[in-house]
């Protein structure tokens, strides 16, 4: 399906912010704490620095091949078989990470808000909402993301303001946690924390101008890393790292910790509404993007026709892990580690092949 070229910087900023910044509300903080203790709060910044060179190299190549998105550019550079191998690796990694992320969010909804409901029922409802939202198309997804992002930001600002008096800055010391080497190594291995930035390049040509796409990504990245570090810093200074290690969902513990006087109770319900909305939009974007990648790999014209089977198989993946601890500390941790080398290396490979073919000189 041909995408309508009406999206601008605001839509890209909103899409990327929802994909990455909302990770502050999942169990990523708990995952990082296992290896780095109280130094976990700035690990995302190290991870971003690790993947930036490859990301900028990919942007450089996309700019050279102005009229092509990620998969089309890969086909031009590597040919049919080469592009399919790399593309399938990207798709499979993203598909599995989406499935594990889906399981994490479904577990949060079940444990925190609907403990009596069967997990499979919640997962099915989650899938149905995401599927029908994705069927609206890329233009609608971008518009809805742009409209709702300010409300998500407002809820974050309110939460930060309410918790600010309980912050104890001394809890960030010792600054290097388990040691500088451990912190740096964990940051390097988790470069794939920002793998969504690579995935959205499938939408490179769907914007009114490609400069809108690049500006949206840069602004979105700057905002997302700021929000991630801010919330991780709040977790580290509100709780000690021993507590965070045992928390599956530190964001929700934070919403239950704050209050407004003695008369307003259950304020976590206010944050729950925005969090659930953000979760639905986040996975709607995921589903559409990974389906778009798969459709482009095999030259399937109608993206919407693949949303149901890919979404359904992703639902199956999401219910395989036995529990949230197994999902986060074993499967997702390993997959993030294995995906990082792929993200770092494939733009370098594309650049080397394009340079050897002389394509970069012709552009």
pLDDT at 54: 96
pLDDT, tens digit, 9 for 90 and up, residues 235-293: 999 987 777 777 778 888 888 877 766 556 667 778 888 999 999 999 999 999 999 99
Q: Is residue 229 part of a domain?
A: yes
Q: Is residue 258 part of a domain?
A: yes
Residue 291, judged by CB atoms within 10 A of its CB (0-12, 13-18, 19+), counts as buried
* pTM, 2 dp: 0.94
Q: Which two tokens stand for residue 313?
A: 């198989």
Longest CA pairwise span in the chain (Å):
70
pLDDT at 175 > cutoff 80: yes
Q: State the residue range of the domain holding 54.
A: 9-362
Q: Which two tokens stand for residue 70?
A: 């990620």
pLDDT at 362 > cutoff 60: no
Q: Is residue 3 part of a domain?
A: no
Q: State the helix-helix crossing angle for 250-257 and 268-297, rounded to 10 degrees.
A: 160
Q: Is residue 309 part of a domain?
A: yes
pLDDT at 1 > cutoff 50: no
Q: Is residue 2 part of a domain?
A: no
Q: 289, 93 in Cβ contact below 8 A?
A: no
Q: Is residue 230 part of a domain?
A: yes
pLDDT, tens digit, 9 for 90 and up, residues 8-49: 999 999 999 999 998 998 888 888 988 898 899 999 999 999
Mean pLDDT of the chain: 89
CATH number at residue 60: 1.20.1740.10
Q: Which two tokens stand for residue 296?
A: 């482009």
Q: Is residue 4 part of a domain?
A: no
pLDDT at 157: 92
Give residue 2's pLDDT band: very low, low, confident or very high (50, 70, 90): very low
Q: Which two tokens stand for residue 227?
A: 């929000």
Give residue 322's pLDDT band: very low, low, confident or very high (50, 70, 90): low
Enumerate residues 6+ apart whose C-beta is below 8 A from 307.
Answer: 131, 134, 135, 287, 288, 291
pLDDT, tens digit, 9 for 90 and up, residues 205-225: 998 888 999 999 999 999 999
Q: Report the domain count for the chain.
A: 1
């Amino acid at each position: 399906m041909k995408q309508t070229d009406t999206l601008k910087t605001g839509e890209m900023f909103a899409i990327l912010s929802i994909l990455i910044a909302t990770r502050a509300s999942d169990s990523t903080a708990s995952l990082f704490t296992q290896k780095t203790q109280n130094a976990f709060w700035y690990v995302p910044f190290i991870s971003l620095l690790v993947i930036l060179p490859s990301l900028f190299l990919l942007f450089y190549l996309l700019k050279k091949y102005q009229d092509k998105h990620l998969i089309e550019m890969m086909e031009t550079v590597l040919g049919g078989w080469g592009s399919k191998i790399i593309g399938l690796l990207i798709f499979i990694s993203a598909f599995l990470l989406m499935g594990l992320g889906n399981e994490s969010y479904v577990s949060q909804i079940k444990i925190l808000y609907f403990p009596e409901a069967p997990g499979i029922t919640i997962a099915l409802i989650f899938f149905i909402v995401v599927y029908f939202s994705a069927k609206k198309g890329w233009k609608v997804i971008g518009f809805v993301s742009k409209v709702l992002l300010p409300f998500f930001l407002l809820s974050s600002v309110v939460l930060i303001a309410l918790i600010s008096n309980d912050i104890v800055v001394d809890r960030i010391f010792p600054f290097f946690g388990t040691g500088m080497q451990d912190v740096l190594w964990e940051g390097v291995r988790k470069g794939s924390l920002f793998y969504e930035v690579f995935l959205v390049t499938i939408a490179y040509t769907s914007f009114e101008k490609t400069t809108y796409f690049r500006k949206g990504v840069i602004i979105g990245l700057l905002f997302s890393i700021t929000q991630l570090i801010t919330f991780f810093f709040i977790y580290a200074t509100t709780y000690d790292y021993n507590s965070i290690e045992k928390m599956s969902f530190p964001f929700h513990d934070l919403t239950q910790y704050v209050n407004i006087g003695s008369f307003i109770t259950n304020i976590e319900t206010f944050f729950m509404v925005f969090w659930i909305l953000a979760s639905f939009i986040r996975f709607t974007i995921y589903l559409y993007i990974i389906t778009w990648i798969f459709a482009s790999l095999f030259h399937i014209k109608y993206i919407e026709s693949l949303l149901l089977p890919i979404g359904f198989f992703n639902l199956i993946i999401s219910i395989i892990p036995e529990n949230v601890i197994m999902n986060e500390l074993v499967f997702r941790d390993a997959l993030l580690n294995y995906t990082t080398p792929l993200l770092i290396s494939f733009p370098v490979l594309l650049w080397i092949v394009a340079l050897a073919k002389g394509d970069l000189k012709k552009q």
